[in-house]
Amino acid sequence: MDLDELVEHWTLLDDERELIAGKRGPTRLGFALLLKFYTRIGRFPRGCGELPDEAVECVARQVGVGLSELGQYEWTGSTIAYYRAQIRSHLGFRACSVIDAES
């Protein structure tokens, strides 16, 4: 991944920084990566293995969290479900429902 792509797709914007502001440590980094991956790919990553190393390094520097802390981020459970809903809401999306699928 070249520098232009990192800057274009993985730089946190002001409104995104506000959304991340209350989070700390691994949560701060994980949330920021979820947000940027979703805006880039249109879905959430299944785990850290889907995240490009260069992007993780870039986002970690921006949020001031060490790379090693990503290993402590919980990729399952109610917290990540809440964060995904928060990101969708921020971006103006919602999860598809059965009714949506039938339409």
Residue 94: what pLDDT?
A: 76
pTM of the model: 0.89
Indicate if the pLDDT at residue 27 is higher than 80. yes
CA atoms within 13 A on the CB side of 69: 17
Indicate if the pLDDT at residue 95 is higher than 80. no
- In this structure, which amino acid lies at residue 77? G
Best CA proximity match to 2, nearest among 84, 40, 58, 47: 58
Indicate if the pLDDT at residue 103 is higher than 90. no
Radius of gyration, CA atoms only, the chain: 14
Look over the chain and give the mean of its residue pLDDT values, rounded to a whole number: 93
Taking the C-alpha atoms of residue 21 and residue 24, their distance in angstroms, rounded to an integer, is 8
What CA–CA distances, in Å, run from 82 to 32, 42, 75, 89? 14, 17, 12, 11
Over residues 23-48, the mean pLDDT reads 96
Read off the pLDDT band of 26 (50, 70, 90).
very high
Indicate if the pLDDT at residue 55 is higher than 90. yes
Q: Tokens at residue 61, please? A: 């520097």
